Amino acid sequence: MAALVSVSIAVSGAAIERITPVNTAAEMSVSDFSGSYAAGRASAEISCGEDGSVSIVVRWGSSAWTTAVWTMSGKLDFETMTLEYSDCVKKTETYGDSGELESAEISFENGSGRFVFGVDMKTVTWYDDNSDFGSLEFEKLPDIEP
């Protein structure tokens, strides 16, 4: 059964209250979080295994020829809506003028951090312990039907 969350909004002096159903942890599945996410020039692809594992690939295009790629995995804690990881590999990919991959250099391995999912399951905030950008909030993109 979905929990109800009450949200109050004040608009020009009038208060509006909206009650929205939200899935409880017992109703969620890791597959609810699968999909594509975006945050400016960064994108994240989240995929889930049958065993409950979650794999995440974040790509950040720093130029037309260079992309930073982080790959990590973990298990989602439904109580905290958090996925912690300690197996991150960051590499820098360099592409040629015609789009072919010319090189992929590993920047670090065994990086750590966490992803915190919003209760609406439409946002996720990334905290990477090995990078200097602080945090980055991604929004889930709509699924595209083939």
CA 107 from chain center: how many Å?
Answer: 21
Q: Tally Cβ neighbours within 10 Å of residue 91.
A: 16
Q: Tally Cβ neighbours within 10 Å of residue 57.
A: 14
pLDDT at residue number 60: 93
Mean pLDDT by 10 residues, the chain (146 residues): 36 43 54 88 90 91 90 91 95 91 93 92 92 87 77
Q: Dihedral sign, CA of 100, 58, 123, 13?
A: negative
pLDDT at residue number 146: 63
Domain boundaries, the chain: 29-140
pLDDT at residue number 131: 82
The pTM of this model reads 0.76
Collapse the DSSP code of 33 into the 3-class scheme (helix H, G, I; strand E, B; otherwise coil) and give the result: helix
Report the alpha-carbon distance of residue 146 to residue 137 in Å, rounded: 27
